[in-house]
Structure 1
Amino acid sequence: MNKRSQISLINSQNWDRASGAIKFGQLYGSSIGLALAEDRMQTAVSSLVICPSSENAQIIADEINYFNQTDQIIEVFPDLEILPYDLSPPRRDIISKRSEILHKLINKEINLLVINASNLLWKLPPRDFFDSVSQQIEVGQSFSINGITEILKRSGFDRVAVVHDPGQYAVRGSIVDLYSPSEIYPIRIDLDDNHIDSIRLFDSASQLTIKQISKTWIIPANQFPRDSKAIDFFKANMRNHFEGNQMEWPLYNYIYTDPENHGVYNYLPLFYSTMSSILDFIDPSTRIFLIDDFSSSLLVFKHLIDQRFNDYQLDSQPIMHPNELFFNANKIIDDINRKNPLTIQSEKFT
Structure 2
Amino acid sequence: MNSPLNLSSSRLAPAASLPTLPRLLPQPPGVNRKAVAPPLMGSSDALALAQYATSAAERGEPIAVVCAEALAAQRLAEEIAWFAPGLRVATLPDWETLPYDHFSPHQDLVSERLATLYRASRGECDVLLVAATTALYRFAPPSYLAAFTFFLAQGERLDVDALRSQLALGGYQHVTQVVAAGEFSVRGGLIDLFPMGSALPYRIDLFDEEIESIKSFDVDSQRTLYPVPNVRLLPAREFPQDDAARTRFRGRFRELFEGDPSKSALYRDISNGVTPGGIEYYLPLFFDATATLAEYFPANATVAIHGDVGVAIERFWQDTESRYRLLRGDPARPLLPPHELFLPVDEFNGVLKPFARIELPETPARLAERATQALPPLQVDRRAGDPLHALKRFATSTRERVLIVADGLGRRETMQQYFAEYGFKPAIVADWAEFVRGDASPALAVGPPHAGFLWPQGGIALVTEA
Distance (Å, rounded) in 2 between the aligned partners of 1:24 and 1:208 = 51
Distance (Å, rounded) in 2 between the aligned partners of 1:258 and 1:99 = 21
* Contact 2:33–2:357 (8 Å) recurs in 1: no
In structure 2, relative to structure 1, the CA distance for the partners of 1:161 and 1:36 (3 Å cut) is same
Distance (Å, rounded) in 2 between the aligned partners of 1:298 and 1:66 = 29
TM-score scaled by length of structure 2: 0.68
In structure 2, give the amino acid aligned to 1:41: T
Distance (Å, rounded) in 1 between the aligned partners of 2:243 and 2:350 = 39
Is 1:295 aligned with 2:310? yes
Q: Which moves more between the two structures, 230-239 or 42-51?
A: 230-239
Corresponding residue of 2:403: none
- Secondary structure class of the residue paired with 1:98: helix
Q: Runs of 5+ in structure 2 lacking a partner?
A: 1-19, 367-466
In structure 1, give the amino acid aligned to 2:313: L
Greater RCO structure (CA 8 Å; 6+ sep): 1
Q: Which residue, 32, 42, 57 being the options, matches 1:29?
A: 42
Corresponding residue of 2:320: 305
Distance (Å, rounded) in 2 between the aligned partners of 1:200 and 1:147 = 21
In structure 2, give the amino acid aligned to 1:34: L
Corresponding residue of 2:106: 91
Cα deviation per residue 1:24-49 (whole Å; 9 max; x = unaligned)?
12211111111111223333221111
Distance (Å, rounded) in 2 between the aligned partners of 1:145 and 1:181 = 19
In structure 1, give the amino acid aligned to 2:83: F
In structure 2, relative to structure 1, the CA distance for the partners of 1:299 and 1:60 (3 Å cut) is same
* Contact 1:295–1:333 (8 Å) recurs in 2: no
Q: Which residue, 225, 244, 256 being the options, matches 1:210?
A: 225
Distance (Å, rounded) in 2 between the aligned partners of 1:10 and 1:186 = 41
In structure 1, give the amino acid aligned to 2:177: V
* Contact 1:27–1:347 (8 Å) recurs in 2: no
Within-5 A mapping of 1:170-319: 170-255=185-270, 256=272, 258-261=274-277, 263-313=278-328, 314-319=330-335
Corresponding residue of 2:432: none
Corresponding residue of 1:321: 337
Distance (Å, rounded) in 2 between the aligned partners of 1:264 and 1:225 = 12
In structure 2, give the amino acid aligned to 1:272: F
* Contact 1:51–1:115 (8 Å) recurs in 2: yes
- State which structure, 1 or 2, has the greater radius of gyration over its C-alpha atoms: 2
Within-5 A mapping of 1:21-170: 21-44=34-57, 45-68=61-84, 70-170=85-185
Aligned residues: 341
In structure 2, relative to structure 1, the CA distance for the partners of 1:166 and 1:88 (3 Å cut) is same
Distance (Å, rounded) in 2 between the aligned partners of 1:7 and 1:59 = 23
* Contact 2:178–2:185 (8 Å) recurs in 1: yes
* Contact 2:107–2:181 (8 Å) recurs in 1: yes
Q: Which moves more between the two structures, 280-289 or 329-338?
A: 329-338
Q: Runs of 5+ in structure 1 lacking a partner?
A: none
* Contact 2:180–2:194 (8 Å) recurs in 1: yes
Task: Measure how far apart 1:317 and its partner are.
Answer: 2.1
In structure 2, give the amino acid aligned to 1:171: V
Distance (Å, rounded) in 2 between the aligned partners of 1:282 and 1:96 = 20
Task: Measure how far apart 1:274 and its partner are.
Answer: 1.2
Task: Measure how far apart 1:202 and its partner are.
Answer: 1.2
In structure 2, give the amino acid aligned to 1:176: I
Cα deviation per residue 1:94-120 (whole Å; 9 max; x = unaligned)?
000000101111221111011101122
In structure 2, relative to structure 1, the CA distance for the partners of 1:11 and 1:287 (3 Å cut) is closer
Cα deviation per residue 1:266-312 (whole Å; 9 max; x = unaligned)?
11111111111111111111111111222232222122221111111
Q: Which moves more between the two structures, 58-67 or 86-95?
A: 58-67
Distance (Å, rounded) in 1 between the aligned partners of 2:158 and 2:88 = 32
In structure 2, relative to structure 1, the CA distance for the partners of 1:93 and 1:60 (3 Å cut) is same
- Secondary structure class of the residue paired with 1:265: helix
Task: Measure how far apart 1:165 and its partner are.
Answer: 0.5
Task: Measure how far apart 1:22 and its partner are.
Answer: 1.0
Moved over 4 A (4+): none
In structure 2, relative to structure 1, the CA distance for the partners of 1:79 and 1:182 (3 Å cut) is closer
Cα deviation per residue 1:76-130 (whole Å; 9 max; x = unaligned)?
1101111111111111100000001011112211110111011221111111110
Distance (Å, rounded) in 2 between the aligned partners of 1:257 and 1:31 = 50
- Secondary structure class of the residue paired with 2:356: coil
In structure 2, give the amino acid aligned to 1:344: L
In structure 2, relative to structure 1, the CA distance for the partners of 1:207 and 1:257 (3 Å cut) is farther
Task: Measure how far apart 1:11 and its partner are.
Answer: 7.7
Distance (Å, rounded) in 2 between the aligned partners of 1:220 and 1:329 = 30
